[in-house]
Amino acid sequence: MNVLTFLSEFGQGSHYTASFQGAMYKQGIGLPFIEINNQIFENKNVEAAYLSNLVFENFPIGSFHVIALGTIAYSYDYHIIAQFKGHYFLAANNGILSLIFGEDYDTYYRIPNLDGITEIHHIYLPVIKEIISGKSLNDFLTIATTVDIQTLIKPSYVNDELAGCVLCIDNMGNVFTNITRDVVAKYFSNQNFIIMLSRHYELSKIYEDLSGFKSGDIYAYYNARDYLSISLRDGSAQKLLNLRMYKPVIIKKR
């Protein structure tokens, strides 16, 4: 069964999410509605892209993913929709989708907004209904020739040090970086290394088994999408290590 996911900056208790969901059911779109997160506030495009990448492939092929950032008080001439790995993504033309797909992706379709509407259910739901009815995107939409493209920060390797950074922090203080398993393997295969987290904390191992830690232990591991992550058992790694968005995470040869 296909679903519709919703990722926004609307905040807990906001009426905007409920308005979208109500309009969806009013128009006869009976897809299960799943809110991924409504607390995307600072550095919102990067964090939203990271979260979307973490979860979207866990949903059935053909699902719809609405990313509602920068839509409350700002009107776009057009929004965009794209099909990526069998999923449909809908967002404002503000660069968010390029952070999910990569800057080389180029098949975006234009969703016109001639009346300057800010309520996205008026813009997105008619498009979703057309797709559910069996139409492909090129049956009723045109290719967007001008799309805002942004680039996700990538790790760099200089003088035996791999420099990455924090890209996302969840509500429990778990920290997620832009350093992937493949990048670590490329530069530190069969070599000892140290992960520099702060002036007082460093780690020398990335764990696969997370079952043996005691309260207060700090540990590194790869999350479900193979990004290097840092956690504190029964606590907040963010607070203990004073980590924040874009703060450097350095891995160096030992």
Give tens-digit pLDDT for 61-95. 999 999 998 887 777 889 999 999 999 999 999 99
- For position 89, what pLDDT does the model report? 98
Q: Do residues 219 and 207 lie in contact, with contact meaning Cβ atoms separated by under 8 Å?
A: yes
In 3-state terms, what secondary structure has residue 129?
Answer: helix
Final residue of a structural domain among 120, 143, 166: 143
Average pLDDT over the chain reads 91
- 116 in the same domain as 8: yes
- Which residue range forms the structural domain that includes residue 194? 156-253
- 14 in the same domain as 120: yes
- 162 in the same domain as 41: no
The rounded percent of the chain whose pLDDT value lies above 90 is 68
DSSP 8-class letter at 189: T
User: For the whole model, what pTM was predicted?
Assistant: 0.83
pLDDT surpasses 90 at 50: no
The CATH number assigned to the domain holding 17 equals 3.40.50.10790
Q: Residue 241: which residues within 8 A CB-CB, separation 6 or more?
A: 175, 197, 198, 201, 218, 230
Lowest mean pLDDT: which of 34-43, 65-74, 184-193?
34-43
Average pLDDT rounded to a whole number, residues 138-167: 91
Is residue 150, in this structure, part of any structural domain at all?
no
